[in-house]
Structure 1
């Protein structure tokens, strides 16, 4: 057994919780992926995450499977800009190398909620800002900006600014993860916004995600 694997086993055996192994993979298809089995940290579970980027002309899916915390299990949220909408939902299971149920995305709500946010997108930088705006809809009651740095299997920076659900603001950003050779360093900052245009938003992000930009 490799030293890292042995260390993880020892940590599991000496902790107060228990450890399982989970598949680790990502696939840009509307289907599950099959990766290698990796040991998880104490009390982690197997998390399946499905993200769909919808634009006027196309839809781009991303499915990932990895170890994760219990708090990720019921995550569901979205973020929108003038270029389209990103929706994500997770599901979990808690036995060795189990495959969680395929996550079902929440439908898009077209009803405007009176919030207006700045909107922009960049596929070359982890920062963007323009005078463009977007009228928010449904549960997207936050103004947010995500920025992401990818390395490893893919090297790329990108950013998105627009309307976001509270769940995206609380769960998506400020994370570092590695899934099957892809390192994702993401950050996200959000504002409560206002019924008028919000202009004071600062911050940066992969989760999840804007998977259309992976290639």
Structure 2
């Protein structure tokens, strides 16, 4: 599942469309900061953008960061999902002045208290579906249940089909970072459901 989550940030970072502004452009797989060249963005790219991800697996955190030119005015965006062993957060910040993205990224802390929502919890390699009696108690703003299937896992040499169900903070499938891949066939299905609330 780590390979799936890591792949998300590559796709989001390089789908920017977006009066000229000078932005730091760089990438790092180790931490929430990177240094790189300052470049003048192309016409229509009016924001400097920092995209940061965090993956926590069994309590061990790792981060990646992209800094680049962006073309839309979305001020702030946070995507979260959580299984019993893994937490993933993807956060996008925009700013509007020259080199405003040169500082280290600051990830918005997640709330770890349960919110009364439960989701089915499963993960299955080489499958387009998974079901389980097991559930996960969602935390913080993750009050929806996520189902994703398709060629989203990687064994180190190739992508292959897998499926997962757990908690997320998005309200609809079109807000998922890899939603555009449904059209290409890489993602077979993304579904968001209300989950199970405690009585």
TM-score in terms of structure 2 length = 0.64
Instruction: Tell me what 1:115 maps to.
Output: 117
Where does the alignment leave 5 or more consecutive residues of structure 1 unmatched?
Answer: 1-16, 177-184, 197-215
Distance 1:23 1:118 in 2: 41
Pick aligned residue for 2:146 from 144, 147, 156: 144
- Of 134, 137, 140, which aligns to 2:136? 134
Check conservation: 1:140, 1:164, Cα contact below 8 A.
yes
Of residues 174, 177, 188, the one that matches 1:172 is 177
Whole-angstrom CA distance in 2 between matches of 1:156 and 1:38: 35
Could you tell me how far apart the structure 2 residues matched to 1:74 and 1:126 are? 34
Contact map agreement 1:90 1:103 (CA 8 A) in 2 = no
Aligned length: 169
Residues 191-210 of structure 1 aligned to structure 2 (within 5 Å)? 191-195=193-197
What TM-score do the two structures reach when normalised by structure 1? 0.60
Gaps of 5+ in 2: 1-17
1:70 aligns with 2:73: yes
After superposition, give the CA deviation of every residue in 1:167-211 in whole Å (9 maximum; x if it has no partner).
7952524247xxxxxxxx778431222316xxxxxxxxxxxxxxx
Cα distance in structure 2, aligned partners of 1:39 and 1:128? 42
Verify: 1:104 aligned to 2:109, yes or no. Answer: no
- How far apart, CA to CA, are the structure 1 residues paired with 2:93 and 2:191? 25
Task: Please list, as runs of the form range in 1=range in 2, the aligned pairs for 1:12-91 lying within 5 A after superposition.
Answer: 18-20=19-21, 22-35=23-36, 37=39, 39-40=41-42, 42-68=44-70, 69-71=72-74, 73-91=75-93
CA RMSD after TM alignment = 3.7
Deviating beyond 6 angstroms after TM superposition, the runs of 4 or more aligned structure 1 residues are none
State the shift of 1:130 in Å: 3.4
Q: Secondary structure at the match of 1:117?
A: strand
